[in-house]
């Protein structure tokens, strides 16, 4: 429990520093000082500052990731219902990132891009195996046709994350809606899914 608390202290310190200082300029010494612990203690838990940043971002969106893992193990939900939950989890996590960004106000474009890049990588990496399992379930159920579940999951999550994050290629709500409509059509035709089955992707942004 003590080790868990010290790790949380490190993450809390980094979270606070990220809200008030340039992320690139924050040093491990700064984190240690803010956490009130020795610099050596940090390296017991994390090998680098980047690892700490990754852990902070992952903790911020742990609800989304935990929900994904939990639903993937649910035997009473069909593949399409699980897809709906995963897709909305991507939307919710993107909206949460925007909310946090408004609160902390990343002043430098480079810093903001850095945070968004890490956010996208973590969401895609963590949800990819979950989505792949859901696609495999759909194949077993006969509702989805897919020969490459892992690769398809990565493509789907990459498109969703970049589109919903709306940072790499900023778009207005109408443009995002059209992109999601086109993406929905591509998924349905590409995986043999009945038309309009994935209409839940069109939930208001």
Select 2-48's CATH number: 1.10.1060.10, 1.10.150.300, 3.40.640.10, 1.10.10.60.
Answer: 1.10.10.60
When pLDDT is averaged across residues 127-156 and rounded to a whole number, the result is 95
Measured CA to CA in angstroms, residue 70 lies from 48, 127, 130 at distances of: 30, 12, 9
Among the listed residues 116, 110, 130, the one whose alpha carbon sits nearest the alpha carbon of residue 167: 116
**pLDDT recorded at residue 78:** 93
The DSSP secondary structure of 91-143, one letter per residue, reads HHHHHHHHHHHHHH---SHHHHHHHHHHHHHHHHHHHHHHHHHHHHHHHHHTS
Residue 168: other Cβ atoms inside 10 A: 12
Structure-block tokens of residue 157:
């999550």
Q: Which residue has the tokens 């940090």?
A: 42
Quote the CA–CA distance of 86 and 196 in Å, as a whole number. 17
Buried b vs exposed e over 140-152: b needs ≥16 C-beta within 10 Å?
eeebbebeebeeb
Measured CA to CA in angstroms, residue 89 lies from 9, 50, 92, 95, 154 at distances of: 27, 25, 5, 10, 15
Domain coordinates in residue numbering, the chain: 2-48, 61-202
pLDDT digits (tens, 9 = 90+) for 26-71: 899 999 999 999 999 999 999 999 899 888 888 877 777 787 778 7
Q: Is the dihedral of CA 159, 165, 171, 177 positive or negative?
A: positive
Measured CA to CA in angstroms, residue 172 lies from 107, 166, 167, 180 at distances of: 22, 9, 11, 12
pLDDT digits (tens, 9 = 90+) for 84-122: 888 888 877 777 776 666 655 454 555 667 777 888 888
Structure-block tokens of residue 97:
């990132």
pLDDT digits (tens, 9 = 90+) for 165-204: 777 778 888 888 899 999 999 999 999 999 989 887 766 5
pTM of the model: 0.78
Among the listed residues 97, 67, 74, the one whose alpha carbon sits nearest the alpha carbon of residue 166: 97
Q: Which 3 state secondary structure label does DSSP give 16? A: helix
Q: Please count the residues of the chain.
A: 205
**pLDDT recorded at residue 151:** 98
61-202 placed in CATH 3.30.420.10:
no
């Amino acid at each position: 429990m003590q080790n868990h608390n010290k790790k949380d202290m490190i993450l809390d310190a980094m979270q606070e520093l990220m809200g008030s200082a340039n992320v690139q300029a924050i040093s491990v010494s700064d984190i240690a000082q803010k956490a009130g612990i020795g610099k050596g203690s940090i390296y017991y838990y994390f090998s680098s500052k980047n690892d700490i940043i990754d852990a902070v971002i992952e903790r911020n969106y742990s609800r989304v990731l935990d929900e994904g893992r939990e639903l993937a193990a649910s035997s009473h939900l069909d593949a399409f219902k699980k897809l709906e939950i995963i897709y909305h989890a991507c939307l919710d996590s993107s909206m949460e990132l925007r909310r946090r960004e408004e609160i902390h106000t990343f002043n430098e474009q480079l810093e903001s891009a850095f945070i968004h890049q890490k956010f996208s990588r973590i969401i895609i990496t963590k949800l990819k195996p979950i989505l792949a399992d859901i696609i495999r379930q759909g194949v077993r159920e006969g509702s989805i046709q897919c020969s490459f579940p892992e690769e398809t999951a990565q493509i789907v999550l990459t498109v969703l994350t970049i589109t919903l994050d709306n940072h790499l290629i900023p778009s207005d709500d109408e443009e995002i809606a059209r992109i999601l409509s086109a993406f929905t059509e591509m998924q349905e035709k590409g995986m043999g899914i009945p038309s309009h089955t994935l209409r839940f992707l069109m939930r208001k942004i």
